[in-house]
Amino acid sequence: MMKAFLTSLTVFFLLVSSLTAQRPQQPEGWSYSLGMGALVKPKYEGGSDYDFWPIPYFDVKYGESFFFSPAQGLGYRVEAGEGFNFTVAAGFDFGRDEEDGDLLRGMGDIDFGILGLAKLGYEWGQNFAQVEYGHEVSGVHGGFEVKSSLGRKFMIRDWKSIITLSAFTTYSSEDYLNTYFGVDLQQSLSSGHGITQFEAGLKDVGVSLNWIRPINDRWSFVGIANYSKFLGDIPDSPIVESDNQFFGGFFFVRSM
């Protein structure tokens, strides 16, 4: 349950941090954000049962460069000019507990890991494109994922809101896919599932709709809705209950 909660924190914090970063002006020097919200998400990647998590939030930034939060980790962003930006960070892979779903019984837990992250972004007008590379570097599974996204921000003046609509796809390495969706010989004997192995390839495709509405100079409301669909042979994994994955949530955050 603790890993599921931490994973929920990761999903929510990353989205809230990316959305609050889209506010027109960022303060110089140190800034801090605190908040509270809730998230609905699958109990594990590939599950069909959902959890509801009340979630606290905090985030520390220095200007538009340095950042730290439990989910984003510790990182630095560089504005490279001509619309390009580059980010490097150390983050976390919170793993998975076999108690997160009936089909995970006998599969064993996936341990906590450290991620090395690199992100390249490009913005033109209200449009943006982004490629993010995340590699597990602490020896838990050694896998990596590359997430590519393309989207646009809409300034809705009547609602005093910023709405961001984007499409994304994720490429996953063989090690990552076999850790989270595969079944090896030992797991097969313990769980009763057939041996299942994957090659590297596209994991999913999806869309994301995010809404941020400043309430005043300090407070903002954030709403999130996300849908993704597994691709290739992943839906055939014996631990995948649904190839359609949804999550959504809301948050109130105060900038300090």
- Structure confidence by residue, pLDDT tens digits, 123-145: 999 999 999 999 999 999 999 99
- Domain enclosing residue 213, as ranges: 2-255
- For 38-50, how does the pLDDT look when each residue is reduced to its tens digit (9 = 90+)? 999 999 999 999 9
| pLDDT of the residue at 88 | 96
Number of separate helices (H) and strands (E) present in the chain:
3, 12
Q: What residue has token string 């990761």?
A: 10
Give CA–CA dist 221/213, Å, rounded: 5
Predicted confidence (pLDDT) at residue 23 exceeds the cutoff of 50: no
Report how many domains make up the chain: 1
Predicted confidence (pLDDT) at residue 22 exceeds the cutoff of 50: no
| pLDDT of the residue at 72 | 74
Q: What residue has token string 């509801």?
A: 52
Rounded (10°) CA dihedral 218, 76, 206, 135: -140
| pLDDT of the residue at 3 | 56
Give CA–CA dist 231/143, Å, rounded: 18
Residue closest to 101 by CA, chosen among 203, 1, 230: 1
pLDDT band at 188 (very low <50, low <70, confident <90, very high): very high
CATH code where residue 76 lies = 2.40.160.40
Give CA–CA dist 91/72, Å, rounded: 6
pLDDT band at 245 (very low <50, low <70, confident <90, very high): very high
Predicted confidence (pLDDT) at residue 152 exceeds the cutoff of 90: yes
Q: How many Cβ atoms are within 10 Å of 176's Cβ, its own excluded?
A: 24
| pLDDT-above-70 percentage for the chain | 89
Rounded to whole angstroms, what are the CA distances from 163 to 3, 23, 38, 59, 64? 30, 11, 19, 21, 21
